Chain A
Amino acid sequence: MFFLQPLGLLFLGAALVPPLLHLFQRRRPPDVAFPAVRYLRQTEREALRTIRLRHVLLLLLRVAAVALLAIAAARPVVPRQGAGHQPTALVLVLDHSLSSGAVAGGVRAFDDLAARARETLVAARASDAVWLIGADGIARRGSREELLRVLAAARPEPRRLDLTAAVATAARLVRASGFVQGEVHVLSDLQRTAFGAADSVAGGLPLLFYHPAADAPANRAVVGARAAPRTWLVGSPGAVEVSVGGAPAPAGGKAAVTVTVGGKPGGRALVTAGDVAAIAATAPGTGWIAGDVQLEPDELRADDRRPFAMRVVAPAEVRVDGQADLGGFVAEVLRTLAAAGQLRLGGPGTAGSGVTLAEHAVGSGASTVVFPPHDPVQLGAANRSLAAAGVPWRFGARVEREDTLAALPAVLRPIAGVQIHRRYRLEAQPGTTGADVLARAGGDAWLVRSGRVVLVGSRFVPEETALPLSPGFVPFVGSLVNLLARGDEGIVEAAPGESVPLPEAVTAIAFGAGQARPVEGGTAVSAPADPGVYPLLAGGDTVGELVVTPDPRESDLRRAGASDLAALFPGARVTVAATARAYAAERFRGAGRAELTGAALLAALLALVVEGLVAAGGIRRGRA
């Protein structure tokens, strides 16, 4: 025998109440004058044994009634041998997503879930229609043996399974099956984050959820890792921004996180859940470089490591457009950076491969930093050049007001707070995104990037901004020409198995060891199932990196409760089982088991009735 609601057994403690009342609630009764006490004494002497027996019987009946009520509350179930079930359309949703690799109570969640799935498949009969939905969300129908083979090949996958969508798919399959009996079983660790918005598609269907009995383990995870910026200048130090998350939060203190860049160890930091740490690192060599961030291992290993990618470039070759008047400060700082080896000054022939500083866009695909024209009359021409280059930004109205620079990425923080005296409002055209804006002044965009074109709202002269006089000016111009103007195109991020659009030039995705999967550039492909950094190839050249990282929601192991599930699937007959026996008892509409709740309630009622009869002496009257 086992119990569907074992917590109900806590009420067994109430069975102690009747004997305790009997022992501790004795009070001195009132005195009553009564001459015939001798008759009473004679009666008591003759009936003493009967009275004691009746008291013991009453006590036992009361204890039994309370105990039976407690047992009924726990919903006892006994197996019933030889029972079958009606032909059933059964959809088995096996959540072997990343979080199923978590170990709780010494057992990996996936192993527990797979064992339940195997039991259910074995219990299925040839007359049943059975589907198996795995972490990829695809429903597979097959015979028992076929699905057992699929199950045997399953393993925890680093992808995320949307359980709401899976249940919706399962419900549609059951409804379309034509079977009178239909069931949807969800074998999962039941992360709250695995569910979407409430969906009534399963209304009226029995939804049987099973989760491992052990509580979800504490989990700490790397939920974000990216080079900041993604393009580094060779030989210059950079930083990797690391976000730490996961739940439930571990009880301990901080954990060590290590950054590895190009196979070489980088910086370390002590972090805790919720931290965002910038960890310094130096890139080895140039080109596309992969790295990863690793946390100390915990009960869920798959989210303790997260890959990232960066591009390391040589100093840019910079030229100033001949028609531009950028002021003396720009020319001076370019010479200073060139002297320090941070850039190379180029001539008129460098426009295609280097970075051009100009007062108009110089052509499609060229890396250009566009400043407002020194002559306002040229503003219209500048905007027309931007339109011709496909840049969705324009110089707008002139603003003469004291503003400060704000909302800057890490690489621009040295110029945060610098005063802007005069600027052109940079106006977005249709097709722009907030991600284009690199810096704002007075709430307006001041520095934006679109592809390889960067627009600046003010000229770098003291009349328009205090920037040339600030200590951050030299490194800012270095970052502007070496990193910002070159863009971070080429790095594509995706979750395992997710559909991701590729850049136009890509022809194949490399998988290491000389293996490559041909793809068509500009189309969407399914990302590899395993996390990692996959080079994007254009012929023999690497033109980018596909970074496959786990979905951060998989790191939140907090479990949805029965009430949550009932609210998520309104109208469905939701049952939650936490033990193998409870799950087996509910499987196939409870075939093969008998619930004793009614019998226990009946027995409790019978005990109370007998108690009442004994207390009232009814049994004796009956005998008399």
Chain B
Amino acid sequence: MNSRLDLLDPREVASLGGIELVAEGVVEGFLSGLHRSPYRGFSVEFAEHRPYQAGDELRYLDWKVVGRRDRLYVKQYEEETNLRATIVLDVSRSMGWSGDPERRLTKSDYAVRMTAALALVLLRQRDATGLIAFDDEVRVMIPPRSRSGQWHAVVRALADLAPGGGTAAEHALARVTGLLRRRGLVVFVSDLLVERELVLLALRYLRHRGHQVVVLHLMDPAELALDRAEEARFVDPESGESLVVSPRDLGREYRATVDRVVTAWRRALRSSGIAYHHVTTETPFGIALRHAAERRARLG
């Protein structure tokens, strides 16, 4: 694939093939971008020099070489890994919704493809990578491993998933704490339509145990702002709860509420040392991957 699939519209990328093919294409693009902007390996041992490219950080310039050869070179490092990473994926019924199915993936479809790509990135770094998928119970649990075939196991599990029932993230996160004995990376992918305090407590507990935790808060753009004008009965597909609302009356207030919710999540998580990223189903996979892999770079 010649184009950078990681930066294209997720809906178009998803239409190119199955989860496996799409994830590989996205990762290829993502990693080629890393070569231009060396993200990977700067925290480990020096490997070689390479010519400076636009976008490279100046702090990696080797000034001795510059002085000797009057040309710009940056230092590149070999990375060593023994990281255990677990992707915790929300597959509750609310994740199976799209505000515009013709133009956007459901949150679940987006999350599955992004998870597959993330797993591939991690496994290529020889990180032990596992998967936990949950709705109101744990639906899939693949322990973190770095052996060959692990990614295909993850992909198969993801392909078999379908949006389930309610959401009980706190139970799934409790299971994660049992699985991750060594400190590692936990990537939590969810629309966060959950019991907020319970989930916060579980995530803080993981952080307290020394894990790096990344939360990807996934939303459909239609959840950010009410995009219809007429009055309607809005029904939660997960709980069945409904409410009659005229978007004309509440549109602006609703946007403010969502902003407050996002801000509250961000503040609460970051104050506990947990990375938080707000992602929509229109966000290119590469950007979401960059968010998810950000904490990986901090782990030695």
Instruction: Flag whether A435 is at the interface (Cβ < 8 A).
Output: no
Of the candidates B223, B233, B253, the one whose C-beta lies within 8 Å of that of A32 is B233
Q: For chain A residues 29-78, which have a beta carbon within 8 Å of chain B?
A: 29-44, 46-47, 50-51, 54-55
Instruction: Flag whether B294 is at the interface (Cβ < 8 A).
Output: no
B49 to chain A, nearest CB (A): 51
Whether A37 touches B243, Cβ cut-off 8 Å, given contacts A29-B230, A29-B232, A29-B233, is yes
Question: In whole angstroms, what is the CA distance A50 to B193 when docked?
Answer: 26
Q: Which residue of B lies closest to A45 (CB)?
A: B257
A36 contacts B232, C-beta separation under 8 Å: no
Q: For chain B residues 166-203, which have a beta carbon within 8 Å of chain A?
A: 191, 193
A32 contacts B254, C-beta separation under 8 Å: no
Instruction: Flag whether A442 is at the interface (Cβ < 8 A).
Output: no
When distances are taken between beta carbons in the complex, the residues of chain B under 8 Å from A22 are: none
B94 contacts A31, C-beta separation under 8 Å: no
Q: Which residue of B lies closest to A52 (CB)?
A: B249
When distances are taken between beta carbons in the complex, the residues of chain B under 8 Å from A42 are: 257, 261
When distances are taken between beta carbons in the complex, the residues of chain A under 8 Å from B244 are: 29
A37 contacts B236, C-beta separation under 8 Å: yes
B193 contacts A36, C-beta separation under 8 Å: yes
Instruction: Flag whether A620 is at the interface (Cβ < 8 A).
Output: yes
When distances are taken between beta carbons in the complex, the residues of chain B under 8 Å from A36 are: 193, 219, 223, 236, 258
Instruction: Flag whether A606 is at the interface (Cβ < 8 A).
Output: no
Q: Which residue of B lies closest to A621 (CB)?
A: B252
B236 contacts A615, C-beta separation under 8 Å: no
Of the candidates B230, B231, B233, B254, the one whose C-beta lies within 8 Å of that of A39 is B254
B257 contacts A46, C-beta separation under 8 Å: yes
A31 contacts B254, C-beta separation under 8 Å: no
Q: For chain A residues 353-384, which have a beta carbon within 8 Å of chain B?
A: none
A38 to chain B, nearest CB (A): 7
Question: In whole angstroms, what is the CA distance A54 to B252 when docked?
Answer: 14
Whether A32 touches B252, Cβ cut-off 8 Å, given contacts A43-B257, A44-B243, is no
B252 contacts A617, C-beta separation under 8 Å: yes
When distances are taken between beta carbons in the complex, the residues of chain A under 8 Å from B257 are: 39, 42-43, 46
Whether A30 touches B193, Cβ cut-off 8 Å, given contacts A35-B94, A620-B252, is no
Interface centre among A35, A37, A38 (most CB of B within 10 A): A35
A32 contacts B250, C-beta separation under 8 Å: no
Name the prevailing secondary structure of the A interface residues: helix
When distances are taken between beta carbons in the complex, the residues of chain A under 8 Å from B236 are: 34-38
Of the candidates B191, B243, B251, the one whose C-beta lies within 8 Å of that of A617 is B251
B267 to chain A, nearest CB (A): 17
Q: For chain A residues 287-337, which have a beta carbon within 8 Å of chain B?
A: none
When distances are taken between beta carbons in the complex, the residues of chain B under 8 Å from A46 are: 253, 257
A40 contacts B243, C-beta separation under 8 Å: yes
B223 contacts A31, C-beta separation under 8 Å: no
Question: In whole angstroms, what is the CA distance A55 to B246 when docked?
Answer: 12
When distances are taken between beta carbons in the complex, the residues of chain A under 8 Å from B93 are: 35
A30 contacts B233, C-beta separation under 8 Å: yes
Instruction: Flag whether B238 is at the interface (Cβ < 8 A).
Output: yes
Q: Which residue of A lies closest to B99 (CB)?
A: A34
B258 contacts A47, C-beta separation under 8 Å: no
B97 contacts A39, C-beta separation under 8 Å: no
When distances are taken between beta carbons in the complex, the residues of chain B under 8 Å from A34 are: 97, 223, 234-236
Q: Which residue of A lies closest to B237 (CB)?
A: A33
Instruction: Flag whether B245 is at the interface (Cβ < 8 A).
Output: yes
B258 to chain A, nearest CB (A): 6
B236 to chain A, nearest CB (A): 4
Question: In whole angstroms, what is the CA distance A5 to B215 when docked?
Answer: 72
B233 contacts A37, C-beta separation under 8 Å: no
B233 contacts A41, C-beta separation under 8 Å: no
B235 contacts A33, C-beta separation under 8 Å: yes
A31 contacts B235, C-beta separation under 8 Å: yes
B230 to chain A, nearest CB (A): 7
Instruction: Flag whether B228 is at the interface (Cβ < 8 A).
Output: yes
Q: Which residue of A lies closest to B92 (CB)?
A: A35
Of the candidates B242, B252, B258, the one whose C-beta lies within 8 Å of that of A37 is B242
Question: In whole angstroms, what is the CA distance A41 to B248 when docked?
Answer: 15
Interface centre among A33, A36, A41, A54 (most CB of B within 10 A): A36
When distances are taken between beta carbons in the complex, the residues of chain B under 8 Å from A617 are: 248, 251-252
B262 to chain A, nearest CB (A): 10
Instruction: Flag whether B160 is at the interface (Cβ < 8 A).
Output: no
A620 to chain B, nearest CB (A): 6
B193 contacts A35, C-beta separation under 8 Å: yes
A40 contacts B234, C-beta separation under 8 Å: yes
A38 contacts B233, C-beta separation under 8 Å: no
Q: Which residue of A lies closest to B219 (CB)?
A: A36
When distances are taken between beta carbons in the complex, the residues of chain A under 8 Å from B248 are: 615-617
B250 contacts A33, C-beta separation under 8 Å: no
Instruction: Flag whether B70 is at the interface (Cβ < 8 A).
Output: no
A30 contacts B253, C-beta separation under 8 Å: no
B233 to chain A, nearest CB (A): 5
A32 contacts B238, C-beta separation under 8 Å: no
A508 to chain B, nearest CB (A): 94
When distances are taken between beta carbons in the complex, the residues of chain A under 8 Å from B251 are: 617
A308 to chain B, nearest CB (A): 82
B193 contacts A38, C-beta separation under 8 Å: yes
A35 contacts B254, C-beta separation under 8 Å: no
When distances are taken between beta carbons in the complex, the residues of chain A under 8 Å from B249 are: 51, 54-55
Instruction: Flag whether B241 is at the interface (Cβ < 8 A).
Output: yes
Whether A39 touches B258, Cβ cut-off 8 Å, given contacts A46-B253, A617-B251, is yes
When distances are taken between beta carbons in the complex, the residues of chain A under 8 Å from B219 are: 36
B250 contacts A40, C-beta separation under 8 Å: yes
A535 to chain B, nearest CB (A): 92
B241 contacts A37, C-beta separation under 8 Å: yes
Q: Which residue of B lies closest to A616 (CB)?
A: B248
Question: In whole angstroms, what is the CA distance A163 to B94 when docked?
Answer: 86
| Chain A 589-624 interface 0/1 with B at a Cβ cutoff of 8 Å (1 = within) | 000000000000000000000000001110011000
A41 contacts B243, C-beta separation under 8 Å: yes
B250 contacts A43, C-beta separation under 8 Å: yes
Question: In whole angstroms, what is the CA distance A28 to B244 when docked?
Answer: 9
Of the candidates B233, B237, B256, B258, the one whose C-beta lies within 8 Å of that of A35 is B237
When distances are taken between beta carbons in the complex, the residues of chain A under 8 Å from B223 are: 34-36, 39
Question: In whole angstroms, what is the CA distance A417 to B254 when docked?
Answer: 102
When distances are taken between beta carbons in the complex, the residues of chain B under 8 Å from A35 are: 93-94, 97, 191, 193, 223, 236-238
10 contacts between A and B (CB under 8 A): A32-B232, A32-B234, A34-B236, A39-B223, A42-B261, A43-B250, A43-B256, A44-B243, A44-B250, A55-B249
**Which A residues form the contact surface with B (CB < 8 A)?**
28-44, 46-47, 50-51, 54-55, 615-617, 620-621
Closest 6 CB pairs of A and B: A35-B94, A37-B236, A34-B234, A43-B257, A32-B232, A47-B253
- Inter-chain pairs besides A35-B94, A35-B238, A37-B241, 4 sampled, C-beta below 8 Å: A32-B232, A615-B248, A617-B252, A621-B252
